[in-house]
Amino acid sequence: MEPRQYIRLSLLNNMIHDTLNARFDGQRFWVLADITNHSYKADKKIHYFELVEKAQNGNAITARMMGKSWGGGAARIEEFEKSTGQVFTDNLHVLVQVSVDYHPLYGLSVNVLDIDSNFMLGILEQQRNATLERLVRENDFIQKKGDGYSTFNSRLKLPAVIQRVAVISSSSSAGNEDFRHTMQHNDFGYVFQIDDYYTVVQGDNNAKLFLNKLIEIYNTFIPYDAVVINRGGGSQSDFLIFDNYNIGRAVAKFPIAVITGIGHQKNVSIADLMANTHTKTPTKAAEFIIAHNRSFELGILALQQNIVIKAQQLFHLQYKGLSELKNAISSSARELVQLHGEELTRTNHQIISSSRAVLHGHQKKLLITVNHLVQRPRMLFQQQKNDLGNIKNSVKNAAGEYLRHEKLALEYHRKSIRMISPQNILRKGYAIVKTNGKIISSAENIEAGHEIEVILKNAKLKSTVKEKIQYDGKETDL
């Protein structure tokens, strides 16, 4: 058997290398793919990864290629991360410019020379816009108003003074520490009650944990003045949790005013749009609350100043009016005193003149009366003497008549008493019945066998009842 013809593997690889280089030398291709198995060698600034293509109707991988990027390509990836805020990592759907490379030792791969930042921003924006449209479409408490959104939460009126605050943040968040420091060391000495509700505040897959914290705050029934959502800086992917549909809906419907300080400098998240008030950073959120309270205090101080000014103005106005009134009263009083003084003088002269005339008239009347009084006692005495005689005779006659009338009445009463006396009644054949020493007029409480006492005209009979027969008083056998 003749020996087979063969070549070394390295020779074959070199042939493939030469063929591919001849075919793809100097060519560049924009490729749409997903990133997987990413790793980064920071010391060499080299990215290693795989580019994969997934089926449109599922997650099945239909194509795969090893990839790497260094030098100018790595620099373009760094620019991509800065412009989008998105870390170059697994599960990104990217549009990259590649060149084909075949190495006899490491095999076929592509070199990423450039990456389209606008494509990534477009994808994120499409997802965000779709979520906003769904929120408006499925929830009647969310309405699109021009370039913004009106929600149940955004329509809530913040309390005049914010004092008790619930804060949702990461336990290790430096932004939350900044928030607390700003609140507790404010220049106005305001005191706040800050309750922390720690959770994970990055990654869309942690949305359920974040949502549970909102529910926990609601279920405490603590009358918080506001709920603050804090997070420091980070990449674009770190903030995807705040573009989550369920979190956006919960914030929009939450019955306590929500203030966001998420730290997303480039864009406004959906949670920001659904909240009552959104600020750029946790520190800005704290400054907003302090400024809100300061505004109320300044309003009170301004009102106090206005009250003082108005009071002073009113005092001066009233003082001026009182001074004018005092002068008018003094002037009028002097005129009245002078006028009444003259009238009193005239009245005094009239009284003196009238008094003399009156006294003279009464003097004449008194003289006449004295003369009448001297004559009248004799006449009155005689008249009274005659009246007394007449009264004497009238009393004598009336007394005799009254005594005769009363004597007749007494005689009538004596006869009546004799007629109804027990002795007289007994003589007529009637009897008195007693039981237990008491006179009875009815047999209601007497039964056969009871002892009774019968009193007649000349005897008392004691007997025992043998029989009780009812009697209606209508029989005529008496």
pLDDT in tens, the chain (478 residues): 567 788 888 888 888 888 888 888 889 999 999 899 999 999 999 999 999 988 777 668 899 999 999 999 999 999 988 877 678 888 788 899 999 999 888 889 999 999 988 887 677 778 888 899 999 999 999 999 998 999 999 999 999 999 999 999 988 888 889 999 999 999 999 999 999 999 887 655 678 889 999 999 999 999 999 999 998 655 555 567 888 899 999 999 999 999 999 876 556 889 999 999 999 899 999 999 999 999 999 999 999 999 999 999 898 888 888 888 888 888 888 888 888 888 888 888 888 888 888 888 888 888 888 777 777 777 777 888 888 888 888 888 888 888 888 888 888 888 888 777 777 777 777 888 888 878 887 777 788 888 888 888 788 888 888 888 877 766 555 5
What does the alpha-carbon distance between residue 244 and residue 241 come to, in Å, rounded to a whole number? 5
Q: Residue 208: left if φ>0, alpha if ψ -120 to 50, beta else—which one? A: alpha
Domain boundaries along the sequence of the chain: 9-115, 142-295, 426-464
Residue 353's pLDDT is 84
Q: By three-state DSSP, how is residue 472 classified? A: coil
Residue 49's pLDDT is 94
Instruction: Tell me the residue type at 164.
Output: R
What does the alpha-carbon distance between residue 478 and residue 470 come to, in Å, rounded to a whole number? 15
Residue 437's pLDDT is 77
Residue 376's pLDDT is 75
Q: How far apart are the first and last CA of the chain?
A: 175
Sign of the CA dihedral with 128 first, then 129, 130, and 131 last: positive
CB-hemisphere CA count at 13 Å for 91? 4
Which stretches does DSSP call E strand in 175-257?
A: 193-198, 226-230
CATH for the stretch 9-115: 2.40.50.140
- For 462, residues 6+ apart whose C-beta sits below 8 A from its C-beta are 451, 452, 453, 454
Q: Do domains 9-115 and 142-295 have the same CATH topology?
A: no
Residue 247's pLDDT is 93
Give φ, ψ of 195 to 5 degrees: -105, 125
Residue 289's pLDDT is 97
Q: What is the pTM of this model?
A: 0.51
- Note the CATH architecture for domain 142-295: 3-Layer(aba) Sandwich (3.40)
Residue 191's pLDDT is 95
Residue 291's pLDDT is 96
Residue 221's pLDDT is 95
What does the alpha-carbon distance between residue 221 and residue 216 come to, in Å, rounded to a whole number? 9
